[in-house]
Each structure stands twice: as structure tokens, then as C-alpha cells.
């Protein structure tokens, strides 16, 4: 099937409370990834690489930064019918409510979706890291004659409680689906035997369940029919289980790297894994590029120091400092004598301009005489520094693995990771 007959809808997600404080100033899909990208770049790039060029992004919370990024990054030429457009929650003469869930977000946006002469609607999440050729998924949907196709991933028992778990017959048709089962008895009943796994091209390797990736293909008519049932607000909990009773629902097994970045712990872990010699996700694949906003910035400048297993992004300057297993974001300044280990430094939106007057500096976010970036003789380990932070000389930030989650003066602790929120100033000599 021609991928051009498919329209993609990327869900921007809710409040993202599990990713706070990173989501205090932005929505989940706008969060930085690998130093220079944003989470939204992953599904949009997968669409473009798969020749799916009609893309809506549905948003609701703190979406201004995401809108700006999409507008500046994804522009198709006027000879193409491709687009990346934002659909925000809006009031209408018949509805004044916010989106109530994933399915409700699509329902409220349906009038814009069905304006297009398409056969299928591809529904995606905006906070996952993976590389998938959606063309193969769409072909599978067509070849089985499915009304709905659910992308599924082999899962281990310890991951079952956080995924929708399904069972398929030998033809790949779904016969059971339970969203995030926490009852051990139910989990046991939802196992898939090794022979069936192998039939779908999967070596079990202690993976005895098939988990939903939150990626769906609906035929246009099936989507309209299922969403006409007003009581359904969530795909995993309501729409997919109901569709099993009335429509042909099939699974598409994907056995590549996939990670749902829904918590601070997973965000930190996945980003640091990208510094591995052979990372689980390859941003260096010229045949499957991940696109982002182009910047007119110089290359990284390293005056001196030691760099080991690090990602250094354009426009950053490292001055006689040590960086180990860390990511240094765009425009970040790391001054003399600093040591950074196991940390994510998300960079800056601008440079401090020498001689900049105080009024202009305040308009650009300057709230302190401490320079933008990281000062002299600073030690940072096990931390996330959000954008535009100002870290004074001699500051010491260390992990808090023995502490419960809490909020301190200018910082948060989540899963033992210290997070300095966007734009915060940490005074010289402070120990966190």
C-alpha cells in the first residue's frame, strides 16, 4: 500500500507529571533528547523516512515551544501535499472541554483528519524513542485486511504492568487485550508461548508477553465508527478491547529498540545510554536520519581537558575540564577546572553577550550576574541541568540515591537524580 494514502496523528500527551520538573515549562514532546533534538523529532522523522508526509500533532499543555519548533523545522515545498501541522485543544459550539484521553483527543480532531482523502490513520505517541519503517506496518495492515492494527513489542514479565498486553492467534489476529494488568494471575494468562513468538519472527529470550507500543493503524471508516461511541476516551483501556468484539484487529510485531520516555529515570537512563560505544539507538544512521531545527552555530570548541564517552553539541565550549559519560547541549559553556560525570546538560537558547546592557539581559532571561553556563571548578555528577541554567564557581552537585524524591531550594531530586530546573541560578560555592 502507498504510504501517501496514510495520515499520521502524533499525540502530544498530557501534563507529563512524571517528567516534572522538565515539564514545568514545556510539554513532553518538546523535551530535549541527545543534546540537540526534541522527543517530537523521533516520530516526525520516522514518518518522513517512511514517506508518510501528512502529519498532525495534537497538543494541549504548554505547547507554545513545541509549535515554534515544528514551524521552524518541518516545512515541505509548495509542490508537495505534505505538511506538519498542530491541532490544539479548542472550544467549539458543541464542546468546551479539554481532551479527556488519547481517544478523545483524536475524536475532537476528527473533523480535520477526515477532510483528507486517505485510507488509513496512523496514530503515534510523541514521547518514545525508536526507529520504525511505518511503510511495513501499513503494508501489514493492508495484507491482513485489518480494520485496526496494533504495533506490539516482545516484553519481559517485569515490564508487563506498564504496557497494554495482548494475545494473538497463529494468524496474528488479536484475541485478547488488557491495558497495564497488575494482577499476577491475569499477567500469567496473557503469556504467549515460545512457538507462537517464533512464528512471528521473534526469539523469546525470556520475553513471554506481547506489549502494545501505543502505535495504531486504523482504516478511516473503522476509526470514525469506533470514536462515535462517546464513552470511549482512551485507546488502550477502551477502544482496542471494544474493537476486538466488532472489528478485525491484528498485531504487527516489532523487535527493535523501543523506549517509552515517561519518567525522569527513563529519560536519564536512555540519554546516557547514547554515550555507549555501541548505543541502543543509532543517531548516526545516514539511511534513517532524525531531523531537527537547523542552527547556524560553530562546532564544539575544546580548549583542553579530558573527554570520555560524551556527546558534545554544536556551539558548546569546554575549557580545560573533564567530561565523562555525559551529554553537553547546544551553546553550553563549561569553564576551567570543572568535572562533569553521568550528567545531562541541556544547553542554552542563547549566549551571554559581552557588554550586554542589564535591561536587554533581563528580557532574555538574565536574572543574575552569574554567567550563563557552568562556572570554574564545579563538580557535577548524576544530575540533569535544564536549559539556561547558571551554575556559579565552586558549586558541587552529587547524586542522592539514598534520598526519597523531594524539592529543595532551586533543585529537585527524582529517583536519586538531581535536577536543576530551567533558568535557575545556583550561587557560587553551594553544595547540593
Per-residue pLDDT of the chain (432 residues; tens, 9 = 90+): 566 799 999 998 777 789 999 999 899 999 999 999 999 999 999 999 999 999 999 988 778 889 999 999 998 888 788 999 998 766 666 665 767 788 888 988 898 999 999 999 999 999 999 999 999 999 999 999 999 999 999 999 888 988 999 999 989 999 999 999 989 999 999 999 888 899 888 888 889 999 999 999 999 999 999 998 767 889 999 999 999 999 999 999 999 999 999 999 999 999 999 999 999 999 999 999 999 999 999 999 999 999 999 999 999 999 999 999 999 999 999 999 999 999 999 999 999 876 555 444 444 555 578 999 999 999 999 999 999 999 999 999 999 888 899 999 999 999 999 999 999 999 999 999
Residue 33: exposure state from Cβ atoms within 10 A (0-12, 13-18, ≥19)? buried
In a domain, 287, yes or no: no
Whether residues 83 and 146 share a domain: the answer is yes
In this structure, what CATH number is given to the domain that contains residue 348? 2.160.10.10
Question: Is residue 88 a contact partner of residue 60, using CB atoms and an 8 Å limit?
Answer: yes
In a domain, 293, yes or no: no
Domain-ending residue, one of 256, 273, 290: 273
In a domain, 330, yes or no: yes
- DSSP element (H, E) containing 37: strand 37-38
Domain-ending residue, one of 230, 257, 273: 273
431 CB contacts (<8 Å, ≥6 apart)? 395, 396
Whether residues 21 and 69 share a domain: the answer is yes
| Rounded Cα distance, 134 and 140, in Å | 10
| Rounded Cα distance, 418 and 384, in Å | 6
Ranges assigned E (strand) in 47-186: 54-59, 83-88, 120-125, 128-130, 148-155, 164-168, 174-179
In a domain, 286, yes or no: no
Whether residues 198 and 309 share a domain: the answer is no
The DSSP output letter for 238 is I
Whether residues 264 and 413 share a domain: the answer is no
307 CB contacts (<8 Å, ≥6 apart)? 318, 322, 323
Whether residues 338 and 268 share a domain: the answer is no
In a domain, 141, yes or no: yes
Ramachandran region, residue 182 (left: φ > 0; alpha: ψ -120 to 50; beta: rest): alpha
- DSSP element (H, E) containing 425: strand 425-426
In this structure, what CATH number is given to the domain that contains residue 124? 3.90.550.10
Whether residues 130 and 81 share a domain: the answer is yes
Domain-ending residue, one of 254, 273, 292: 273
Q: Which three cell numbers stand for residue 112?
A: 480535520
> In the prediction, which pLDDT does 330 show?
98
Domain count, the chain: 2
Whether residues 371 and 259 share a domain: the answer is no
Whether residues 97 and 190 share a domain: the answer is yes
- Residue 387 belongs to domain spanning: 301-426
In a domain, 189, yes or no: yes
> In the prediction, which pLDDT does 420 show?
98
Whether residues 249 and 327 share a domain: the answer is no
Q: Which three cell numbers stand for residue 68?
A: 515554534
Whether residues 223 and 317 share a domain: the answer is no
Beta pairing class for 406-408 and 383-385? unpaired
Whether residues 143 and 182 share a domain: the answer is yes
Whether residues 19 and 145 share a domain: the answer is yes
In a domain, 329, yes or no: yes
In a domain, 105, yes or no: yes
Amino acid at each position: 500500500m502507498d504510504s501517501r494514502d496514510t495520515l499520521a496523528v502524533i499525540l502530544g500527551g498530557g501534563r507529563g507529571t512524571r517528567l516534572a520538573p522538565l515539564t514545568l515549562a514545556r510539554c513532553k514532546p518538546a523535551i530535549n533528547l541527545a543534546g540537540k533534538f526534541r522527543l517530537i523529532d523521533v516520530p516526525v522523522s520516522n514518518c518522513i523516512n517512511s514517506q508518510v508526509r501528512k502529519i498532525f500533532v495534537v497538543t494541549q499543555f504548554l505547547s507554545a515551544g513545541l509549535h515554534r519548533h515544528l514551524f521552524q523545522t518541518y516545512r515541505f515545498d509548495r509542490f508537495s501535499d505534505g505538511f506538519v501541522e498542530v491541532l490544539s485543544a479548542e472550544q467549539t459550539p458543541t464542546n468546551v472541554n479539554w481532551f479527556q484521553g488519547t481517544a478523545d483527543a483524536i475524536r475532537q480532531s476528527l473533523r480535520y483528519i477526515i477532510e483528507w482523502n486517505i485510507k488509513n490513520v496512523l496514530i503515534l505517541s510523541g514521547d518514545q524513542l525508536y526507529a520504525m519503517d511505518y511503510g511495513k506496518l501499513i503494508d501489514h495492515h493492508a495484507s491482513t485486511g485489518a480494520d485496526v492494527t496494533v504495533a506490539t513489542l516482545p516484553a519481559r514479565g517485569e515490564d508487563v504492568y506498564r504496557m497494554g498486553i495482548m494475545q494473538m492467534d497463529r494468524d496474528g489476529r488479536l484475541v485478547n487485550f488488557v491495558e497495564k494488568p497488575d494482577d499476577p494471575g491475569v499477567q500469567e494468562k496473557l503469556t504467549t508461548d515460545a512457538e507462537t513468538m517464533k512464528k512471528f519472527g521473534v526469539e523469546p529470550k525470556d520475553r513471554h508477553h506481547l506489549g502494545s507500543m501505543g502505535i495504531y493503524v486504523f482504516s478511516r471508516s473503522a476509526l470514525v465508527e469506533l470514536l462515535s461511541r462517546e464513552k470511549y476516551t482512551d485507546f488502550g483501556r477502551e477502544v482496542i478491547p471494544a474493537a476486538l468484539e466488532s472489528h478485525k484487529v491484528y498485531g504487527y510485531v516489532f523487535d527493535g529498540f523501543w523506549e517509552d520516555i515517561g519518567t525522569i529515570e527513563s529519560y536519564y537512563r536512555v540519554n546516557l545510554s547514547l554515550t555507549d560505544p555501541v548505543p541502543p539507538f543509532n543517531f548516526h544512521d545516514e539511511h534513517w536520519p532524525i531531523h531537527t531545527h537547523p542552527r547556524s552555530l560553530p562546532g564544539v570548541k575544546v580548549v583542553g581537558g579530558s573527554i570520555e564517552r560524551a556527546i558534545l553539541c554544536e556551539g558548546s565550549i569546554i575549557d580545560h575540564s573533564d567530561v565523562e559519560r555525559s551529554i553537553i547541549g547546544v551553546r553550553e559553556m563549561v569553564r576551567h577546572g570543572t568535572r562533569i560525570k553521568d550528567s545531562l546538560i541541556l544547553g542554552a537558547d542563547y549566549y551571554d553577550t559581552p557588554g550586554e546592557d542589564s535591561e536587554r539581559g533581563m528580557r532574555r532571561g538574565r536574572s543574575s550576574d552569574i554567567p550563563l553556563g557552568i562556572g570554574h571548578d564545579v563538580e557535577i555528577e548524576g544530575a540533569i541541568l535544564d536549559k539556561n541554567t547558571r551554575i556559579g564557581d565552586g558549586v558541587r552537585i552529587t547524586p542522592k540515591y539514598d534520598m526519597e524524591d523531594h524539592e529543595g531550594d532551586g533543585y529537585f531530586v527524582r529517583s536519586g537524580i538531581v535536577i536543576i530546573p530551567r533558568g535557575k541560578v545556583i550561587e557560587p560555592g553551594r553544595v547540593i
